[in-house]
Amino acid sequence: MPTINYAAKEIQFKIVYCGAALCGKTTNLVYIHSRIAPAHRGDLVSLATAADRTLFFDFLPLSAVILQGFKTKFQLYTVPGQVIYNATRQLVLRNVDGVVFVADSQWDKMEENVESFRNLEQNLQKQSLSLDAVPYVLQLNKRDLQDVAPTNYLQYLLNNRKRRVQSFESIATTGVNVFSTLDAVTQVLLHKFNRERGQLLAVPGGGGR
Ligand SMILES: Nc1nc2c(ncn2[C@@H]2O[C@H](COP(=O)(O)OP(=O)(O)O)[C@@H](O)[C@H]2O)c(=O)[nH]1
Ligand SMILES: [Mg+2]
């Protein structure tokens, strides 16, 4: 559920990048940050350990299109991928409006990908959400590397729910399909919002959080 500020005519959505440790979540945000004019984004806040691994989350605020006279803002977050940080992941996933699941295409990461995807489903369940209802897309990352699984195998592992979602083959380090992924999740999320809650924007003082 996005935050609607009627006075400022702003609506704010939260998008969370999920996936196993080192799959490329932070790299997505770093690339997006580097390609958006400062006027349309805030600073990238990264809380990393000395070893450059995300400890809590990365955070990047973006402002974008106008929706029914409201300025839409997107807050991009990553979650720490390491298995032990589940409490942090649950916290970052609270009130999520859209998810990008980043898969690491390397063969030896398949188990971690599947485990991370299951963990996402479980964490959403804990806040009574389901991937059936949350807008999300799949990003098959690191396609530049040698030892990668074929995309149809990744689809079979990670995109076999009733509703198949859009997926993108990416190279986050050079930006290949980083924006296609972000555009797709925002499109799905805005469609859902318009369909289910668009009327909230027309009623000053109604709804919001
Ligand atoms: N070759 C290659 N390396 C990548 C790609 N995306 C990320 N990486 C590298 O993978 C490592 C982990 O990336 P990071 O974004 O920190 O992963 P995170 O733990 O998911 O945030 C870094 O060394 C990145 O440079 C990619 O598409 N191709
Ligand atoms: Mg990270």
Is 209 inside any structural domain?
no
Q: Which residues line ligand 1 (CB under 6 A)?
A: 19, 21-27, 53-54, 78, 81, 141-142, 144-145, 171-173
Judge whether 8 and 101 are in contact, CB under 8 Å: no
Strand partners, 148: 106
Q: Give the contacts of 87 (CB within 8 A, at least 6 positions apart).
A: none
Q: Which ligand is nearest to the CA of 20?
A: 1
pTM (two decimals): 0.93
* Predicted pLDDT at 208: 47
Is 25 inside any structural domain?
yes
> Hey, CA dihedral for 9, 127, 60, 106, is it positive or negative?
negative
In whole angstroms, what is the distance from residue 156 CA to residue 37 CA?
38
CA of 182 to the centre of ligand 1 (A): 17
pLDDT profile of the chain (209 residues), mean per 10: 89 95 95 92 82 75 82 92 87 95 98 97 95 96 98 97 95 98 95 86 57
Quick count: other Cβ atoms within 10 Å of Cβ 133?
11
Q: Atom 7 of ligand 1 has which residue's CA nearest to it?
A: 24
* Predicted pLDDT at 209: 47
* Predicted pLDDT at 16: 96
- Helix, strand or coil, per DSSP, at residue 190: helix
Could you tell me the two tokens for 121?
Answer: 């489903």
* Predicted pLDDT at 204: 57
* Predicted pLDDT at 32: 95
Structural domain including 123 reads 3-199
Q: Is 173 exposed, middle or buried (0-12, 13-18, 19+ CB in 10 A)?
A: middle
* Predicted pLDDT at 201: 79
Is 205 inside any structural domain?
no
Is 129 inside any structural domain?
yes
Q: How many domains does the chain have?
A: 1
Is 204 inside any structural domain?
no
Q: Cite the beta strand spans of 91-186 per DSSP E.
A: 98-104, 136-141, 167-169
Is 78 inside any structural domain?
yes
Q: Atom 2 of ligand 1 has which residue's CA nearest to it?
A: 142
Residue 59's CATH number: 3.40.50.300
Q: Atom 25 of ligand 1 has which residue's CA nearest to it?
A: 173
Judge whether 157 and 114 are in contact, CB under 8 Å: yes
Is 207 inside any structural domain?
no
CA of 24 to the centre of ligand 1 (A): 4
CA of 45 to the centre of ligand 1 (A): 17
Is 64 inside any structural domain?
yes
CA of 65 to the centre of ligand 2 (A): 27
Helix (H) or strand (E) holding 30: helix 25-35
> Hey, CA dihedral for 32, 34, 40, 45, is it positive or negative?
positive
